[in-house]
């Protein structure tokens, strides 16, 4: 198997495209030109010389292929056209690019050979065949091969079809053209020189100024082929020239890869630990910002609101009276108002709280670290796209987006036993009133030497009421903390999503583009080394 440059060119194309996204099209034009020039060259890019046999009906193309092979690989006969479809005589172990070429050209019939491991010959249908598809096949193949060996004979060398329809219009490809004057065994003495001169003159009128012509006889009756050695020597020279051109192209590809590394400032092998760095920075920033938006102030307000709701529900008549006073115009004027208002007010007053500068410093440090690791154009791009002002703008956008998407905390729902506590507080209230009536109605109950039972009963009821009230307030604080904790968890989740979308995602894009360019350059180096190894 010999070298296949197609994959190396594809790797260069990919690397150029990746680099252009970072440094611009102008900076990569010299490297894109390497691939473009290689693809513009006529012929097969691999190290195998691919030559097509072209010619009219009966000129002996198949006989010539059999002579080159030393055996019968192509059918010959008197029935014309003999070659109905293309036949490929190729190395036993063809390079991948040659196989792809034959697949693209839909040449199914293939014969392996080991006598000429760097030569592939395509026997084409007769271009002047009565079958119209044959001409289309020939025209489709011509731009894809290294050379075309036009086979003519003493009778049809001046045929109008080959000159007017093929050689003259395709004279720009004359560097690929080789001519074989076959069947010279049919000429009498002295006729060969005259015929060669006439053929050269005709080709000159076609625009082919220096034609390469090999007189030969591929299948003389009763004799071995003659005149093949000069043709084979010429093909060997063409192979040597192709090896020189291939080596130069490989060197150009290597230099292009080095140039892309230099123009982008990429340091191969230096990866960016983005996932770890971003995870640490995101967690720290999320913690700091969630402390600003849903920190101790919000938790304390939620606890106070929970206590108020619990006292309103489980505080009995006095709790309901106090709640009504807070909600009254007088209470609102004094700054009381509804329980949830105070909590929501705390969630909106984040501007003056500490933490924003720390979050900005954390993200700025991440950008600095990654830009230093990335280096070159990628580092400059990170510093340009994620400067201090842009990071600050994005962080404020993260906060605003979080505040817009997370529902403001409400107040705890009343616990069922709070209503029972409220009923008990009502009973306690009535009992205290009853004790007061008892005291008022029985002044002798405080006489000397007697127990003040009404007062003792009232004190006991009051103590029970205070105990139940304490349990209700403690439960209210717990419910308020649960509301604050749930709100902070929602804020943290939304902050992490907003940070990833606004900052982490765009930075990851730059990091991914750098990794893709590094991968393309590594693939280019691998393919160039592989091509050198296989062609050497």
pLDDT in tens, 221-248: 888 899 999 998 888 888 777 777 778 8
Rounded-to-integer distance, Cα 342 and Cα 172, Å: 87
How far apart CA 70 and CA 60 sit, in angstroms, is: 15
- If pLDDT is split at 50, 70 and 90, which confidence band does 264 have? confident
Residues 6+ apart with CB under 8 A from 346: 297, 298, 300, 301
Q: pLDDT tens-digit profile of 169-200?
A: 888 778 888 999 999 998 887 789 999 999 99
Q: Are 184 and 215 a contacting pair, CB within 8 Å? A: yes
pLDDT at 138: 62
DSSP run (H or E) holding 49: strand 49-55
Q: What is the arrangement of strands in the sheet containing 49-55, beginning at the earlier edge strand?
A: 109-113, 87-91, 119-123, 49-55, 147-152, 177-181, 213-215
Average pLDDT over residues 484-505: 92
Mean pLDDT on 344-362 = 80
The answer regarding whether domain 48-241 maps to CATH 3.40.50.300 reads yes
* Buried-state track 87-116, b at ≥16 Cβ within 10 A, e below 16: bbbbbeebbebbeebbeebebeebbebeeb
Q: What is the pLDDT of residue 240?
A: 79
- Helix 453-499 vs helix 416-441: crossing angle, to nearest 10: 160
Q: Where are the beta strands (DSSP E) in 356-494?
A: none
The C-alpha angle with vertex 507 and arms to 505 and 511, in degrees rounded to 5, equals 110
Q: CA 246, 250, 252 angle in degrees (round to 5)?
A: 115
Among residues 503, 478, 52, 522, the alpha carbon closest in space to that of 285 is found at 503
pLDDT at 92 exceeding the cut of 80 = yes
Q: Cβ contacts of residue 111 below 8 Å, gap of 6+?
A: 69, 73, 87, 88, 89, 90
- pLDDT (average), residues 502-512: 90
Q: Band of the pLDDT at 157, cuts 50, 70, 90?
A: confident
- Residue 77: is its pLDDT beyond 50? no
Tokens of 447: 């006489």
Residue 270, pLDDT > 80, answer no
**Highest-scoring range by mean pLDDT, 72-76, 127-131, 144-148:** 144-148
Can you give the C-alpha Rg of the chain in angstroms?
A: 47
Per-residue pLDDT at 160: 82
Asked if 309 contacts 476 with a C-beta cutoff of 8 angstroms, the reply is: yes
8 A C-beta contact, residue 484 and residue 294:
yes
Measured in whole angstroms, how far is the alpha carbon of residue 358 from the centre of its chain?
Answer: 33
| pLDDT for res 78 | 39
- How do residues 26-67 score in pLDDT, each as one tens digit? 889 999 988 888 777 667 777 788 898 888 878 888 889 889
Expressed in angstroms, the distance from the first to the final Cα of the chain is 11
Least confidently predicted of 27-31, 74-78, 301-305, 317-321: 74-78
Report d(CA 253, CA 418) in Å as an integer.
81
Q: What is the mean pLDDT of the chain?
A: 81
C-alpha distance from residue 300 to each of 220, 289, 304, 512 (Å): 109, 17, 6, 44
pLDDT of 145 > 70? The answer is yes
Pick from 309, 311, 316: nearest CA to 426? 316
User: Nearest to residue 530, comparing CAs of 334, 254, 307?
Assistant: 254
Greatest alpha-carbon span in the chain: 168
For position 1, what pLDDT does the model report? 37
Q: What pLDDT is stored for residue 475 in this prediction?
A: 86
Give 21 or 534, the one with higher predicted confidence: 21
Q: Give pLDDT, residue 60.
A: 86
In the prediction, which pLDDT does 99 show?
87
Residue 90's pLDDT band (cuts 50, 70, 90): very high
Both tokens assigned to 248: 């130069």
For residues 343 and 454, the answer to whether their CB atoms sit within 8 Å is: no
Measured CA to CA, the distance from residue 230 to residue 454 in angstroms comes to 138
In this predicted structure, what is the pLDDT of residue 493? 93
Between 282 and 351, the higher pLDDT residue: 282
Check residue 282 and give its pLDDT.
93
Print the SS3 string covering 450-483.
CCCHHHHHHHHHHHHHHHHHHHHHHHHHHHHHHH
Instruction: State pLDDT tens for residues 315-336.
Output: 777 767 666 656 655 455 444 5
Most confident of 39-53, 84-98, 331-345, 483-497: 483-497
Rounded to whole angstroms, what are the CA distances from 379 to 23, 238, 514?
12, 48, 10
Beta strands in 86-153 (DSSP E): 87-91, 109-113, 119-123, 147-152
Residues 6+ apart with CB under 8 A from 501: none
What pLDDT is attached to residue 442?
A: 72
Count each helix (H run) and each strand (E run) in the chain, helices first: 19, 7
For the chain, where do the domains classified as CATH 3.40.50.300 start and end?
48-241
Whole-number percent of the chain with pLDDT over 90: 19
Q: How far apart are CA 506 and CA 512, in angstroms?
A: 10
Tell me what pLDDT residue 345 has.
Answer: 72
Mean of pLDDT values over 451-474:
79
């Amino acid at each position: 198997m010999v070298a296949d440059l197609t994959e190396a060119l594809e790797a260069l194309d990919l690397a150029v495209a990746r680099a252009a996204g970072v440094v611009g099209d102008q900076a990569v034009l010299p490297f894109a030109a390497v691939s473009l020039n290689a693809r513009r060259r006529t012929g097969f890019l691999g190290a195998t010389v691919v030559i097509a046999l072209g010619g009219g009906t009966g000129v002996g193309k198949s006989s010539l292929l059999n002579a080159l092979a030393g055996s019968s690989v192509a059918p010959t006969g008197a029935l014309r056209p003999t070659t109905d479809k293309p036949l490929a005589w190729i190395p036993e172990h063809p390079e991948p690019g040659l196989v792809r070429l034959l697949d693209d050209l839909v040449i199914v019939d293939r014969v392996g050979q080991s006598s000429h491991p760097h030569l592939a010959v395509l026997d084409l249908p007769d271009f002047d065949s009565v079958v119209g598809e044959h001409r289309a096949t020939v025209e489709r193949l011509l731009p894809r091969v290294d050379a075309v060996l036009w086979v003519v004979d003493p009778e049809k060398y001046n045929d109008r079809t080959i000159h007017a329809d093929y050689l003259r219009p395709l004279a720009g490809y004359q560097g690929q053209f080789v001519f074989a004057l076959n069947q010279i065994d049919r000429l009498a003495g002295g006729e060969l020189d005259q015929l060669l001169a006439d053929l050269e003159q005709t080709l000159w009128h076609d625009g082919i100024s220096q034609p390469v012509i090999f007189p030969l006889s591929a299948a003389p009756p009763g004799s071995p082929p003659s005149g093949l050695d000069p043709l084979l020597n010429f093909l060997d020279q063409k192979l040597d020239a192709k090896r020189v051109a291939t080596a130069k192209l490989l060197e150009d590809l290597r230099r292009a890869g080095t140039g892309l590394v230099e123009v982008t400032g990429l340091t191969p092998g230096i990866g960016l630990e983005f996932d770890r760095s971003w995870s640490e920075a995101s967690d720290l920033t999320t913690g700091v910002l969630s402390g600003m938006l849903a920190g101790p102030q919000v938790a304390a307000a939620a606890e106070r609101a929970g206590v108020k709701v619990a006292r309103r529900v489980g505080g009995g008549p006095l709790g309901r009276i106090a709640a009504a006073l807070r909600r009254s115009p007088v209470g609102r004027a004094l700054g009381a108002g509804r329980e949830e208002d105070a909590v929501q007010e705390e969630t909106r007053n984040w501007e003056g709280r500490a933490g924003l500068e720390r979050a900005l410093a954390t993200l700025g440090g991440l950008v600095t670290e990654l830009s230093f690791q990335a280096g070159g154009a990628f580092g400059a791009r990170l510093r340009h796209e994620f400067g201090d002002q842009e990071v600050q703008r994005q962080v404020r956008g993260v906060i605003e987006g979080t505040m817009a998407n997370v529902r403001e905390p409400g107040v705890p729902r009343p616990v069922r036993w709070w209503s029972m506590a409220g009923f008990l507080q009502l009973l306690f209230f009535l009992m205290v009133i009853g004790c007061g009536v008892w005291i008022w109605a029985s002044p002798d109950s405080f006489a000397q030497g007697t127990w003040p039972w009404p007062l003792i009963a009232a004190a006991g009821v009051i103590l029970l009421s205070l105990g139940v009230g304490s349990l209700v307030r403690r439960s209210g604080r717990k419910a308020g903390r649960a509301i604050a904790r749930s709100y902070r968890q929602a804020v943290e989740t939304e902050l992490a999503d907003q940070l990833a979308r606004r900052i982490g995602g765009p930075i990851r894009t730059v990091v991914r583009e750098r990794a893709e360019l590094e991968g393309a350059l590594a693939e280019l180096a691998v393919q160039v080394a592989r091509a050198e190894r296989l062609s050497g």
